[in-house]
Amino acid sequence: MPAVDHFPADQWARVLAQAWRDTARGRLGYQHPLGHAGLREEIAAYLRASRGLACAGDQVVIAAGSQNSLDLSYRLLADPGDVVAMEDPGYLGARAAATAAGLRIAAVPVDSDGLDVSVLEALEPAPRLVFVTPTHQFPLGVTMSLERRLALVAWARRTGAWVLEDDYDSEYRYGSRQLDPLTVLDRAGRVVYIGTFSKVLFPSLRMGYLVLPPGLVDGFEAAHLCSDIHRPVLEQAALARFMEQGHFAQHLRRTRELHAERRICLLEAARQRLGGLLDVQEAIAGLHLLGRLPDGVDDRAVCDAAAARGLDVWPLSLHAVNRSTRGLLLGYGGVSPALISSGVTALADAIEEVLSQAPAAV
Amino acid sequence: MPAVDHFPADQWARVLAQAWRDTARGRLGYQHPLGHAGLREEIAAYLRASRGLACAGDQVVIAAGSQNSLDLSYRLLADPGDVVAMEDPGYLGARAAATAAGLRIAAVPVDSDGLDVSVLEALEPAPRLVFVTPTHQFPLGVTMSLERRLALVAWARRTGAWVLEDDYDSEYRYGSRQLDPLTVLDRAGRVVYIGTFSKVLFPSLRMGYLVLPPGLVDGFEAAHLCSDIHRPVLEQAALARFMEQGHFAQHLRRTRELHAERRICLLEAARQRLGGLLDVQEAIAGLHLLGRLPDGVDDRAVCDAAAARGLDVWPLSLHAVNRSTRGLLLGYGGVSPALISSGVTALADAIEEVLSQAPAAV
C-alpha cells in the first residue's frame, strides 16, 4: 500500500468534477475499448520521460490494474495448456490468474541478480510466456542485472516467447542505480510492459495500463471488447486531467519523499530491535522490505502471531512454489513512522513468541 | 442507447462528490472483490421489488456491464471445448466472448415464443451453458412464453446445465404482460441472472451485476480476484447513494415515459412512411424495434445506404449465425422525436435506393 493518507483528495475532487462535466456533455455512450485517448497520451509521455520507453499513446491500453493486464495478456498471448514461466518466489496473483487461464506454470528460481535466465533457457519446450518483475522483484526485492536482462530479451527473440514485464512500483527508487526496462532493451517487439496506478495513486481506483508492441494492439482491443467492452470512462478522464495539470508529478515527488522516510524509519527500527530475529534486506525500490527469519522458523506462524497483535505482515512462503523459502514481507508505504515504530516492537514480540515455542533444534 | 440526453447530470455530480469524500476517508485501499456492500444491497432490494427475485445482497456481484458478467460466467462455469447454446439470431457480443473463452456454440432458433427449447432438449450431449434473453429477446424483440420458460428451467435441472438469463433492458416495458424471470421460476439454483445499468443510466459507466445461486458466490469472488481484483469503487459508491436517495427510481420513471413516447413516435413514423419497405414489429419492452425487409433485400446494403445519410442502423444478419435472417434494428432510446422523424424519412430513401438497385427478381 502507498501512503494513501497523503493523497490529495481535494485536487482529485476537482478533476473528478471537471471530468464529469465533460463526460456528461458527450461521453455517456460506449467509448473506445483501448481507453481514453487523452489518458493514453499522458501515460505515454510519462513513460517516455520516466522510463525511457519510446512509446506512443496508441500503444497504451488502459486496464483494471496489473491483475487485469495479466489476465488479458494470458488469455490473448497463450492457449490453455501452454506453459508460462514465473519467478519463484513470485507474485501470487500472477500465478492464480495463469492457473485460471488454464496455463501450466514453470517455476524459475530467483537469485540476487533476478530470475535465473539459464534455467529458463534450459526449459524444453520453451514456455510461451514469461512473467517477470525486473526493477524490484516481487517479493524478494532484488533488481535484475543488465546481463540477465539482455539474455532474457535475446531468449525471447530466439524462441518467439512473450515477456510480461511488470513494473509495478518502479516509481519509488531509493538508489542511483537504474537499469533500462526490458521493453527498452527489446528490439524484436516481444515485451509487453505492465504498469499500475495502484502504487502511485490508490488501489481502489483499479487503474493500470499495458504498453504493447504495435502488432498486438488490435488483439487487445478485441480482448477488451469481449471481456468488458471498455473501462469506465470518468476516472480515466479525471486522471488525464490530474496528469495534464501537473498534480500527478507533484504527488509523485511528495510520496517519493514520504516513502523514502518511511523506508529509513523501518530499516532503523529493524536495526535497533530485530537483531538476531529478522534480517531485513535493503532494496533499491518499492514499498516493502523483505526480512529473513532464522532457519527453521515458520513464517506463517510468525504472521499469525503478528496478526494477534494487530499487525498485518505477509509470509514470503505464500508467494513461493518452493515452500522452503521463508521470510516476511514488511510493507511500509501506507504506514506512518509512529506506527512503523510500534509495529516493529510488536513484530519482535511475535517472532520471539514463535521462537520460544519452536523445537530447540530444527 | 437510452435517453442519455436526459440523464440528471447535476444529481450525479452531487452523489459523486459525496461518494468521493467517503472513498477518500477510508476506501482508497483494496476493496471486496464482489463489490460495494451498500450497492449490492440496493440492487437486491430493487430486484426484489421490480422483478420478484427473492435475492439477498450477498448473492449480487458487481461486474463491468453484461459483457463482463458473461465473460466471468463463461470462464467460471465451463471449460474450453464445452458447448454453450445461444439464441439465433442473438447478441453478437455474447457469441464473441464465448468464442474467446474457447467454448463451442450451438445455435438454437428463436420463434415468436422465444428460444425453441425442444431444439435445446434434443442436443446431444447437453450443452454446459445456455444464454437467453427471455424478457425481450435480442435482437428479435419477442418474449419467451411461460411454457418455454418452465421447460427451460426443467431442462437445466435435469441436465445440470447453467442458464445465463440476460435481462438487459427489462426496465422498459410497454405492455401489461409480464412474466416471471427464469431466476424466479428456477427452484434448483441453475439460473444466473444478469442485469446492467447501461440501459437505465449510461453505457460508459460500465456497471452491471449478476445475481447468483448461493453456491456460486465463492467462485465468482475468485474469478474477480484473478481478473481485476475488484471493480473501481467510487462509482459503485455513487450509484449506491443515487439509489438510496431515490434518484434512480425517479430517473427510471422519467426515462420510461420518454422511451415510451419515442417508441410511439417511431411506430407512427414507420406506419406513415415505411409501408411496403419495412415491416416494423411491435415489441413489449426495450429500446429498439425490429424491422423486416422485403424478401431478398440485403440488410447490410440498407445499413450502408443509411450510413451514407448519417443514420446508424444495425443489420439483423450481424447477430445471426444463420445469415438468411434479414432485417434492421432501429434503436430509438437515445434519439429525440425530431431526429426519429427525419431518420425514418432518410431510412425510407435508403431502402428505396437498395430496392432500385436490386435484381428484378431475387
Helix A65-77 × helix A217-227 angle, to 10°: 110
B273: pLDDT strictly greater than 80? yes
B29 touching A, CB under 8 A? yes
Per-residue confidence at B37, pLDDT binned at 50, 70, 90?
very high
Query: Cβ–Cβ contacts within 10 Å for residue B286, how many?
Result: 27
B174 touching A, CB under 8 A? no
Q: Which amino acid is at A186?
A: D
What percentage of chain A exceeds 70 in pLDDT?
98
**What is the pLDDT averaged over residues B332-357?**
95
Grid cell for residue A303: 504472521
To the nearest 10°, the Cα dihedral for B352, B358, B359, B360? -10
Burial of B349 (0-12, 13-18, 19+ CB in 10 A): middle
A318: pLDDT strictly greater than 60? yes
Query: What is the model's pLDDT at position A155?
Result: 98
* B67 contact residues in A (CB cutoff 8 A): 225-229
Q: How far apart are CA B106 and CA A233, in angstroms?
A: 35
The total number of residues shown for chain B amounts to 362
Query: Cβ–Cβ contacts within 10 Å for residue A244, how many?
Result: 15
Per-residue confidence at B361, pLDDT binned at 50, 70, 90?
very low
Q: Which strands form B208-211's sheet, in the order they lie side by side?
A: B60-63, B208-211, B191-196, B162-166, B129-132, B83-88, B104-111, B114-115
Q: Which of B7, B17, B206 sits opposite A17 (nearest CB)?
A: B17
By C-alpha distance, the chain A residue nearest B223 is A100
**What is the pLDDT averaged over residues A49-68?**
96
By C-alpha distance, the chain B residue nearest A4 is B28
Q: Which amino acid is at B137?
A: Q
Query: What is the model's pLDDT at position A173?
Result: 87
Q: How far apart are CA A277 and CA A275, in angstroms?
A: 5
Count A/B contacts: CB-CB distance under 8 Å. Answer: 161
* B235 contact residues in A (CB cutoff 8 A): 232, 234-235
pLDDT 10s digits, B74-110? 999 999 999 999 999 999 999 999 999 999 999 999 9
- With CB atoms and an 8 Å threshold, state whether A29 touches B1: yes
Task: Using the Cα atoms of residue B271, residue B273, residue B278 and residue B284 in order, give the sign of their dihedral.
Answer: negative
By C-alpha distance, the chain B residue nearest A70 is B227
* A71 contact residues in B (CB cutoff 8 A): 226-228
By C-alpha distance, the chain B residue nearest A228 is B68
By C-alpha distance, the chain B residue nearest A233 is B204
Q: Which of B28, B96, B223 sits opposite A4 (nearest CB)?
A: B28
- With CB atoms and an 8 Å threshold, state whether B100 touches A222: yes
Q: Which of residues 94-113 of B touch A (CB under 8 A)?
A: 96-97, 100, 102
A218 touching B, CB under 8 A? no
* A229 contact residues in B (CB cutoff 8 A): 64-65, 67-68, 93, 203, 206
Distance of CA B120 to the CA centre of its chain: 21
Query: What is the model's pLDDT at position B362?
Result: 45
**What is the pLDDT averaged over residues A188-198?**
97
By C-alpha distance, the chain A residue nearest B74 is A227
pLDDT 10s digits, A223-266? 999 999 999 999 999 999 999 999 999 999 999 999 999 999 99
Query: What is the model's pLDDT at position B285?
Result: 86
pLDDT 10s digits, A80-99? 999 999 999 999 999 999 99
* A312 contact residues in B (CB cutoff 8 A): none
Tell which of A202, A204, A210, A225 to mutate to test the B interface (max B CBs under 10 Å): A204
Tell which of B4, B22, B28, B198 to mutate to test the A interface (max A CBs under 10 Å): B28
- With CB atoms and an 8 Å threshold, state whether A203 touches B29: yes
- With CB atoms and an 8 Å threshold, state whether A93 touches B28: no
Which residue, among A98, A185, A177, has the nearest Cα to A136 in the 3D structure? Answer: A177
- ipTM of the assembly? 0.95
Average confidence score pLDDT of chain A:
95
A110, A154, A353, B27, B322 from A330: Cα distances, Å? 19, 34, 18, 21, 59
By C-alpha distance, the chain A residue nearest B230 is A206
A174: pLDDT strictly greater than 90? no
Q: How far apart are CA B84 and CA B131, in angstroms?
A: 7
Which residue, among A62, A29, A101, has the nearest Cα to B65 in the 3D structure? Answer: A29
- With CB atoms and an 8 Å threshold, state whether B9 touches A17: no
Q: Which of B23, B229, B334 sits opposite A65 (nearest CB)?
A: B229
By C-alpha distance, the chain B residue nearest A201 is B28
A26 touching B, CB under 8 A? no
- With CB atoms and an 8 Å threshold, state whether A20 touches B1: no
Burial of A360 (0-12, 13-18, 19+ CB in 10 A): exposed
Quote the minimal CA–CA distance from A221 to chain B in Å.
Answer: 13
Per-residue confidence at A285, pLDDT binned at 50, 70, 90?
confident
Per-residue confidence at A359, pLDDT binned at 50, 70, 90?
low
Given a contact cutoff of 8 angstroms between Cβ atoms, the answer to whether B197 and B45 are in contact is no
pLDDT 10s digits, B291-308? 999 998 999 999 999 999
**Rama region for B279: left / alpha / beta (φ>0; ψ in -120 to 50; rest):** beta
- With CB atoms and an 8 Å threshold, state whether A93 touches B67: no
Q: How far apart are CA A183 and CA A216, in angstroms?
A: 14
* A1 contact residues in B (CB cutoff 8 A): 29
Q: Which of residues 53-92 of B touch A (CB under 8 A)?
A: 64-65, 67-68, 71, 75, 80
Given a contact cutoff of 8 angstroms between Cβ atoms, the answer to whether B87 and B108 are in contact is yes
Average confidence score pLDDT of chain B:
95
Q: Which of residues 245-284 of A touch B (CB under 8 A)?
A: none
Place of cell 483501448: A34
Q: Report residue A315: phi and psi, to 5°.
A: -80, 135
Name the helix (H) or strand (E) containing B17. helix B9-26
pLDDT 10s digits, A96-148? 999 999 999 999 999 999 999 999 999 999 999 999 999 999 999 999 999 99
Per-residue confidence at A337, pLDDT binned at 50, 70, 90?
very high
Query: Cβ–Cβ contacts within 10 Å for residue A337, how many?
Result: 15
pLDDT 10s digits, B180-226? 999 999 999 999 999 999 999 999 999 999 999 999 999 999 999 99
Q: Which of A7, A222, A234 sits opposite B28 (nearest CB)?
A: A7
Query: Cβ–Cβ contacts within 10 Å for residue B292, how many?
Result: 16
For A8, which DSSP code?
Answer: -
Q: Which of A27, A97, A229 sits opposite B226 (nearest CB)?
A: A97
Query: What is the model's pLDDT at position A111?
Result: 96
**Rama region for B17: left / alpha / beta (φ>0; ψ in -120 to 50; rest):** alpha
Given a contact cutoff of 8 angstroms between Cβ atoms, the answer to whether A152 and A122 are in contact is no
The whole-model pTM stands at 0.96
pLDDT 10s digits, B5-35? 999 999 999 999 999 999 999 999 999 999 9
What percentage of chain B exceeds 90 in pLDDT?
91
* B29 contact residues in A (CB cutoff 8 A): 1, 4, 202-204, 334
Per-residue confidence at A326, pLDDT binned at 50, 70, 90?
confident
Per-residue confidence at A170, pLDDT binned at 50, 70, 90?
confident
